[in-house]
Amino acid sequence: MSKILVDSVVFDLDGTLWDTSATCAMGWNRVLERLGIPFRPITEHDVRRVTGTPHEQCIREVFAGLPEAHLAALAAETAVEDVRLIGERGGDLFPHVDAGLKQLAVRYPLFIVSNCQAGYIETFQRWSGLGDCFRDFECWGHTGRTKPANLKMLIERNGLRHPVFVGDTPGDQAAARECRVPFLHADYGFGRCPDAAHRFSSFAELTGWLLARA
């Protein structure tokens, strides 16, 4: 891996720091039942398959074929149900994320940029107890903007000169490329980026690499 300058680290959330697919699947099924919309049971695989895209797009892809009124209701209701249920049940942090973030936060300013709905990052921070590790965050639910636009906004807002972006999907890689920042691929996550120059098979490996450059 080539030498790169790093003065800050921006993380994607789902597939990079944790996995809430099982909890969200439970929430989506509850919303289907509450709204009386006939549909097959949603599985965590359904959720994981669309993770990384804005919430409304996730719903439209998983529930393709339903009437527009149902899709709109599901998008609105599941956005709220996800945050509520995750606040109760949480998600699965990937191995070594807790210790790794605490180590990295001593050496770097840390940030989050995600395509999630409003309230989701705050719920992650509260549930994980890792909120103090992060300086700032941005998401689709706050701005309605794309991941590249939100990444650019966060970088400019915080005056970052040499950030890296850590993510797990081609969309994350494209956002980093558009913002002209190095991309670090969380290869243990949900997506595949076969041409990524910097890839890591675990969060512990990623942590070690970043600490060596602090």
Instruction: Give me the mean pLDDT over the 123-147 stretch.
Output: 96
Q: What is the pLDDT of residue 2?
A: 55
**Among 18, 37, 17, residue whose Cα is nearest residue 28:** 37
Q: How confident is the model at residue 56 (pLDDT cuts 50, 70, 90)?
A: very high
Is there a contact between 145 and 167 (Cβ–Cβ < 8 Å)?
A: no
Query: Domain 8-19+92-211 is classified in which CATH homologous superfamily?
Result: HAD superfamily/HAD-like (3.40.50.1000)
Instruction: Give me the mean pLDDT over the 67-78 stretch.
Output: 97
Instruction: Give me the mean pLDDT over the 68-75 stretch.
Output: 97
Instruction: Give me the mean pLDDT over the 175-198 stretch.
Output: 95
Domain 21-89 part of CATH 1.10.3470: no
Distance (Å, rounded) from C-alpha 6 to C-alpha 30?
43
Distance (Å, rounded) from C-alpha 139 to C-alpha 20?
17
With H, G, I as helix, E, B as strand and everything else as coil, classify residue 10: strand
Q: In this model, does residue 79 exceed pLDDT 70?
A: yes
Instruction: Give me the mean pLDDT over the 24-47 stretch.
Output: 97
- Write the CB contacts of 59 (distance below 8 Å, at least 6 apart in sequence): 71, 74, 75, 78
Q: What is the pLDDT of residue 44?
A: 96
> Residue 20: which H helix or E strand, with range?
none
**Among 158, 52, 178, residue whose Cα is nearest residue 110:** 158
Q: How confident is the model at residue 1 (pLDDT cuts 50, 70, 90)?
A: very low
Q: What is the DSSP string of 146-179?
A: -HHHHHHHHHHHTT-SSEEEEESSHHHHHHHHHT
* pTM attached to this predicted model: 0.93
Instruction: Give me the mean pLDDT over the 132-144 stretch.
Output: 96
Q: What is the pLDDT of residue 123?
A: 95
**Among 66, 128, 58, 126, residue whose Cα is nearest residue 97:** 128
- Write the CB contacts of 7 (distance below 8 Å, at least 6 apart in sequence): 108, 109, 160, 161, 162, 163
| CATH 1.10.150 boundaries in the chain | 21-89
The helix-helix angle for 97-107 and 203-211 (nearest 10°) equals: 10
pLDDT digits 0-9 by tens, 95-126: 999 999 999 999 999 999 999 999 999 999 99
CA distances from 201 to 1, 2, 43, 45, 64 (A): 14, 17, 26, 21, 33
Q: What is the pLDDT of residue 197?
A: 87
Give rounded-to-5 percent helix, strand, coil for the chain. Answer: 50, 15, 35
| CATH 3.40.50.1000 boundaries in the chain | 8-19+92-211
Q: What is the pLDDT of residue 179?
A: 97
